[in-house]
Amino acid sequence: MADEQFTDSGFWNKIKLFSRQAGREVIERALWLYYAAQQPNTPKWAKSVIYGALAYFVLPLDAIPDLTPLVGFTDDLGALAAALTMVTLYIDDEVKSLAADKLTLWFGDKPSEPKT
């Protein structure tokens, strides 16, 4: 089962090792999922989806090796995006705030909002 393959320490180790290489977008989505899974109101089915995507993210063997320049994290981003689509109701303001705080700590200031 995916939640048995996922570990907190594996997640944080992957983030620590590859956060700059993966980029803010990938890390942000991984953090949204991670923090959503920590919320008591997130149902078990959603946590299973989340842990499946995060397990794929932290496993060293995946479709496109993470060390491959430019494209190494595209499969990870795809897995995270698919999971986010399924559990979007549980990515609330609290989850986004926790992720934003962690991103600011790691990457510095928040990126500027795109002008429309």
- Give the residue-averaged pLDDT of 19-44: 87
Judge whether 115 lies within some domain.
Answer: no
Which letter, b or e, does each residue of 72-100 get, where b requires 16 or more Cβ atoms within 10 Å of its Cβ? bbebbbebbeebbeebeebbeeebeebbe
Judge whether 112 lies within some domain.
Answer: no
Judge whether 114 lies within some domain.
Answer: no
Judge whether 14 lies within some domain.
Answer: yes
Judge whether 47 lies within some domain.
Answer: yes
Helix axes 24-38 and 44-58, enclosed angle (nearest 10): 140
Global pTM reads 0.71
Give me the pLDDT at residue 80, please.
86
Judge whether 15 lies within some domain.
Answer: yes
Per-residue pLDDT at 59 exceeds 90: no
Judge whether 77 lies within some domain.
Answer: yes
Range of the domain at 37: 2-107
Radius of gyration of the chain (CA): 14
Per-residue pLDDT at 31 exceeds 70: yes
User: What is the tally of structural domains in the chain?
Assistant: 1
Judge whether 88 lies within some domain.
Answer: yes
* Percent with pLDDT over 70 in the chain: 72
- Give the residue-averaged pLDDT of 90-99: 96
